[in-house]
């Protein structure tokens, strides 16, 4: 891989992450601090950074926010609790219970600020009556391994919860509630960000049962019993939602627009494939690799390079025992498909800095990727077969490791295509 191409792609990703930093986006969305009692709550990988931004603007605040282990930020009044992701744990359950106890104290005339971001589905955890934490962990694990799109996954989660699907807003009623959300879901559907804890729900428990049955997702008996008696989600027309306002303050589409502007400023052409691409990571990697090859075949010598941009949330169905994630798997599948094609380089990363369960954002690849693999004596096809993409890219020095980015606007992918023909 040429160093200039790799540096450009890494810079592009870094700019996208910086653009969605809560310290930049939260202050722009905050109203003046309300008079009277103000309570701040929240959950997600970006929520602690969001809380930090709130206190920078409003001063010390009362509240509780749950974030992923390693993502805490210093706050003066807001209590930052760390929990587990992608599977919930006891710390998340206890912190969620504390949030619900705090909301039970607020009333008319009080103001609740909810800070919501990706990861909130696991971190904000209150199992439905009759379900244990172990049952809820089994549900999350089965959903993650099923490979179903995030919207369907969250439909099931909502109907097995006492806090998702609008129930957080209902708990705060009649206080006014403003929810600021950083979107990490395809299409920026508010009801899917952290399973829509402050958003009314249109689905019913029978819809969750249909998803489970259609995709053959194993569920603990307690979950089946909860769904059979009907859940406690809040319908969209429930009057308890009348005092809630939901607002998205950062989104994947904004990131792609910014990446396009940077690329254009460098004299490149840009094609945005979409910010809501889903599906199997390896299949999408191969598809975009073939698209890049077709584009390059139509390019003439002297044409400007072209950047293909896309966002969304690809999935990995099942697990072959390796260490990987959808972004690294996308990159590995694309590299195999391109088979050393000159002039094509790519990056795929999760903007939260965690791809799958690994503390790695993603990977870069280019014409020399497979040559590097041969030198490192690691077989790319075997690595892909066992979902071991992180191990593969670690062996050839092509990982993108950021540490906690403190934000989350979903996956970012860019393919840089340079002309090679006459």
For the chain, what percent of residues have pLDDT higher than 90? 93
- Token output for 324: 């990987």
Q: Is 168 helix (H, G, I), strand (E, B) or coil?
A: helix
Closest by CA position to 287, among listed 227, 244, 349, 338: 338
If we measure between CA atoms, which residue out of 238, 207, 209, 239 comes closest to residue 224?
Answer: 209
Mean local confidence (pLDDT), 210-221 = 97
Locate CATH 3.40.1480.10 in the chain.
3-15+253-417
Region 55-79: what's the mean pLDDT?
97
User: Does the pLDDT at position 13 exceed 50?
Assistant: yes
> Which pLDDT score is estimated for 261?
97
Answer yes or no: is pLDDT of 1 > 60: no
- As a whole number, mean pLDDT of residues 49-59 equals 98
- Check residue 124 and give its pLDDT: 98
Q: What pLDDT shows up at residue 3?
A: 64
Q: Which CATH architecture has domain 3-15+253-417?
A: 3-Layer(aba) Sandwich (3.40)
What number of other Cβ atoms are within 10 A of residue 90's Cβ? 11
Both tokens assigned to 415: 């393919």
Q: CATH 3.40.50.10180 in the chain, residues?
A: 31-250
As a whole number of angstroms, the distance between CA 227 and CA 210 comes to 11
Stretch 99-124: mean pLDDT, rounded?
A: 97
Q: Which two tokens stand for residue 25?
A: 């986006």
Helix spans in 230-362 (H): 252-265, 281-297, 326-338
Measuring CA to CA, how many Å separate 224 from each of 163, 210, 308, 406? 18, 12, 43, 36
Structure tokens at 139: 């549900």
Please say if the pLDDT value at position 319 is more than 70: yes
Integer angstrom CA distances of residue 120 from 41, 78, 195, 244, 400 = 12, 17, 7, 18, 24
12 pLDDT more than 70? yes
Q: Residue 174: its pLDDT value, please? A: 98
Q: What is the pLDDT of residues 382-404, one digit of tens each?
A: 999 999 999 999 999 999 999 99
Whether 206 has a pLDDT exceeding 80, the answer reads yes
> Which 3 state secondary structure label does DSSP give 154?
helix
pLDDT tens per residue across span 326-355: 999 999 999 999 999 999 999 999 999 999
CB 44 within 8 Å of CB 117:
yes
DSSP 8-state symbol, 66: E
Mean pLDDT over residues 269-290, rounded? 96
Q: Which helix (H) or strand (E) holds 172?
A: helix 167-172
Residue 358's pLDDT is 85
- Mean residue pLDDT of the chain comes to 96
Question: Which distant-in-sequence residues (6+ apart) come within 8 Å of 261 by Cβ?
Answer: none
Residues 112 and 179: their CA atoms lie apart, in Å, by 8
pLDDT band at 421 (very low <50, low <70, confident <90, very high): low
pTM for this prediction = 0.93
Q: Beta strands of 69-175 (E only): which ranges?
A: 78-83, 111-117
Residue-wise pLDDT for 70-103, tens only, equals 999 999 999 999 999 999 999 999 999 999 999 9
| Residues 314, 281 contacting (CB under 8 angstroms) | yes
Picking from 385, 298, 287, 374, the residue whose alpha carbon sits closest to that of residue 338 is 287
31-250: CATH number: 3.40.50.10180
Range 212-226 average pLDDT: 97
Spell out where 160-296 has E strands.
Answer: 176-182, 244-250, 269-280
Q: Once rounded to an integer, what is the mean pLDDT over residues 24-45?
A: 97
What is the Cα–Cα distance from 253 to 179, expressed in whole angstroms? 20
State which H helix or E strand residue 58 sits in: helix 47-58
DSSP-derived letter for residue 45 is T
Rounded to whole angstroms, the maximal C-alpha distance in the chain is 72
Residue 2 pLDDT grade (very low, low, confident, very high; cuts 50, 70, 90): low
Q: What is the pLDDT of residues 361-379, one digit of tens each?
A: 999 999 999 999 999 999 9
């Amino acid at each position: 891989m040429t160093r200039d191409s790799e540096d450009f792609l890494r810079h592009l990703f870094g700019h996208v992450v910086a653009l969605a930093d809560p310290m930049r986006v939260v202050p722009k969305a905050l109203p003046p601090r309300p008079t009277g009692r103000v309570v701040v709550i929240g959950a997600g990988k970006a929520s602690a950074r969001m809380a930090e931004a709130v206190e920078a603007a409003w001063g010390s605040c009362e509240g509780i926010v749950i974030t992923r282990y390693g993502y805490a930020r210093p706050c003066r009044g807001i209590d930052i609790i760390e929990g587990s992701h992608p599977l919930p744990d006891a710390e998340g359950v206890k912190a969620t219970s504390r949030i619900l106890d705090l909301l039970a104290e607020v009333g008319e005339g009080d103001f609740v600020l909810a800070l919501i971001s990706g990861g909130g589905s696991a971190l904000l955890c209150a199992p439905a009556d009759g379900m244990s934490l172990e049952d809820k962990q089994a549900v999350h694990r089965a959903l993650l391994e099923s490979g179903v799109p995030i919207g369907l996954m969250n439909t099931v989660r909502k109907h097995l919860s006492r806090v998702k699907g609008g129930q957080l807003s209902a708990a705060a009623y009649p206080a006014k509630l403003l929810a600021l959300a950083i979107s990490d879901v395809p299409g920026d559907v508010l009801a899917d960000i952290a399973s829509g804890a402050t958003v009314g729900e249109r689905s019913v428990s029978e819809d969750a049962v249909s998803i489970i049955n259609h995709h053959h997702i194993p569920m603990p008996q307690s979950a089946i019993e909860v769904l059979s008696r009907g859940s406690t989600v809040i319908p969209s027309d429930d009057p308890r939602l009348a005092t809630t306002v939901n607002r998205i303050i950062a989104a994947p589409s904004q990131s792609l627009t910014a990446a396009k502007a940077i690329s254009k400023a460098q004299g490149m052409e840009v094609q945005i494939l979409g910010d809501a691409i889903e599906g199997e990571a390896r299949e999408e990697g191969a598809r975009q690799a073939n698209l890049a090859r077709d584009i390059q075949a139509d390019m003439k010598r002297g044409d400007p390079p072209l950047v293909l941009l896309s966002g969304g949330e690809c999935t990995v169905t099942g697990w072959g025992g390796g260490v990987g994630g959808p972004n690294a798997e996308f990159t590995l599948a694309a590299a195999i498909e391109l088979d050393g094609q000159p002039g094509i380089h790519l990056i795929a990363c999760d903007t939260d800095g965690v791809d799958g369960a690994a503390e790695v954002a993603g990977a870069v690849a280019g014409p020399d990727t497979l040559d590097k693999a041969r030198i490192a004596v690691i077989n790319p096809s075997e690595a892909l077969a066992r979902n071991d993409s992180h191990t593969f890219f670690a062996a050839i020095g092509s990982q993108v490791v950021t540490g906690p980015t403190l934000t989350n606007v979903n996956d970012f992918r860019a393919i840089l295509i340079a002309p090679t023909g006459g």
